[in-house]
Amino acid sequence: MLYFSKLRIIFVILISLFFILFASSNILKTSNDLFKKKINLGLDLQGGSYLLLEIDNSPVIEQKLQNLTISIRNYFKEKNIRINNVKISGQKLLFSSNEKFKQLILDEFTNEESNLNPYYPRFKSHQLEIIEENNNYIVNFSRQGIIELKTSSQDQALEIVRRRIDEIGTNEPNILKRGNDRILVELPGLDDPMRIKSLLGKTANLTFRFVTNNSEDSFGAEKLKYEESTEEAIVSKRIILSGDNLLDAQPRMNSETNETIVSFTLDRVGAKRFGKATSTGIGKQLAIVLDGKIISAPVIRDTIASGSGQISGGFTFQSATDLALLLRSGALPAPLNIIEERTVGPDLGQDSINAGMIALAVGFILVILFIFVKYKIFGLITNLALIINLFILIGVLTIFEATLTLPGIAGIILTVGMAVDANVLIFERIKEELKNEKNNLIAFDSGYTKSRTAILDANITTLLAAIILFFMGSGPIKGFSLTLGIGIFTTLFSVYFIARLLTVLYVSKNKEKQGLI
């Protein structure tokens, strides 16, 4: 029946006031922490930076093949299978063997139960392909193996990119996967992306290695340049310690030399290795290498068993802060290349807000005028419910501190249209009922009841489309689908609770009046 209990009326009023208060917190300043929430503006509204990063997986493939080389040597040695001339060339692993081992070797690579890597992270046979020519073997990653490797690298890189950006304190960053080797980074409010580009462009692969004068080092040696000069040093390939052993890194001021340094703390394994290396290497230079360049190479004066140390290299406080941030967040699994970047200035963002608000205001005013002219007092009720509907929608977005984009504003505008459509369906149905029913209360109740199916069908199908867009789309499409999806729920609430309540109050007082609508 067309009836609202007092409890139901209080419920509708309280819910409406609750969301209106949250919506108003975007305009009003308050000291109450509960109402300090605000809607965040997206990149297209407040300006900011857009970066599309591509992962260079070549070093990852080479590193995996290096690990696989050691594994294959050890594995076939245990199986008493002789292999010779093991080397890597062009992202392929090459080796040779005697004819008598041919079938055994091929079986190991094709058998699904075979495990070619018992000492390092697992490689299964479906990840590798082997070609045999005259007892010479070529091993490389299969298509599936490359896809798995790229996916793993992307997941690792995404997490590290997020850590680095979160450390800077950027407001509401949007970090998403693109394909299996790209990462999209949107940074609203950041109009100078140089620091971010510098941080994301560094792999931050930190190693501690001894400087050696002997190019015939048993572990191998290589020439590396110092970061801030053209000088070179021969550095052993033997890694004493890596960035994986770091627990923390912070910028500090050396009170004795008044120099900016980066202090670091090692985990238990790292502290043990560092202590052993410094005790046996007193008098040697220990090169601190970051991304293939020597930051500094201090001479070891004494054993360092505390598990902590410091890196000096003529840092400014900003560069020391950035280096500490890179070390804390961890090394990227592969280098990142910036293949696309855009910067949206705040003026352009403000123009977008103004254009969106003008579109919303013009559309809203035209709808209000049309509904008022068409349905008179009930048009006024619809317009009031429509305004409350907008406040509730903005209130919901505020509670979740959602990010509003230009497509999100388009979703709000569409919500206005759908709310009006629902009321038009109801009022036109009521007109049909009044032709056969003289009792206003029964006619209005029938109008609301019989139009419900059509309204629910329209809104549910739109909601399903919004859900699909949200999960299948990205960026602006997500913003549109989010506001549209929330708008559907607020629309149904405003139509069947707010507008209906106001209609009940008016019809109950004018139930004998003819030509109500």
* Spatial distance between the Cα atoms of 252 and 339, rounded to a whole number of angstroms: 35
Task: Name the nearest CA neighbour of 312 among 247, 236, 266, 256.
Answer: 256
For 261-273, the DSSP string reads EEEEEE-HHHHHH
Residue appearing with tokens 């699904």: 112
User: Taking a C-beta distance cutoff of 8 angstroms, is the pair 415, 53 a contact?
Assistant: no
By DSSP bridging, strand 241-242 and strand 206-210 are: antiparallel
User: Taking a C-beta distance cutoff of 8 angstroms, is the pair 295, 211 a contact?
Assistant: no
Gap between the terminal Cα atoms of the chain: 19
* DSSP run (H or E) holding 40: strand 40-41
Handedness of CA 83, 84, 87, 89 (dihedral sign): negative
| Topology of domain 6-47+346-509, CATH | Multidrug efflux transporter AcrB transmembrane fold (1.20.1640)
Residue appearing with tokens 């043990």: 272
* Spatial distance between the Cα atoms of 45 and 404, rounded to a whole number of angstroms: 8
CA 352 to chain centre: 24
C-alpha R_g of the chain: 34
* Residue ranges per structural domain of the chain: 6-47+346-509, 58-146, 206-331
By DSSP bridging, strand 403-404 and strand 40-41 are: parallel
pLDDT tens over the chain, length 517 residues? 567 888 989 999 999 999 998 888 887 776 666 667 888 877 777 778 888 999 998 888 887 887 778 778 887 888 888 888 888 888 888 888 888 878 877 777 766 555 554 433 444 555 778 888 888 888 888 888 888 888 888 998 898 898 888 877 766 688 888 888 899 888 887 756 787 888 888 888 888 889 987 655 557 788 898 887 788 888 988 888 888 888 888 898 887 778 888 888 988 888 888 888 888 888 888 888 888 888 888 888 888 888 888 887 778 888 888 888 888 888 888 888 989 888 776 665 677 777 877 887 888 888 888 888 888 899 999 999 999 999 999 999 998 888 888 888 888 888 888 888 898 999 999 999 888 888 888 888 899 999 999 999 999 999 999 999 988 876 678 888 989 999 999 999 999 999 999 998 888 888 777 767 7
* Spatial distance between the Cα atoms of 202 and 261, rounded to a whole number of angstroms: 19
* Spatial distance between the Cα atoms of 198 and 92, rounded to a whole number of angstroms: 32
* Spatial distance between the Cα atoms of 517 and 506, rounded to a whole number of angstroms: 12
| Topology of domain 206-331, CATH | Gyrase A; domain 2 (3.30.1360)
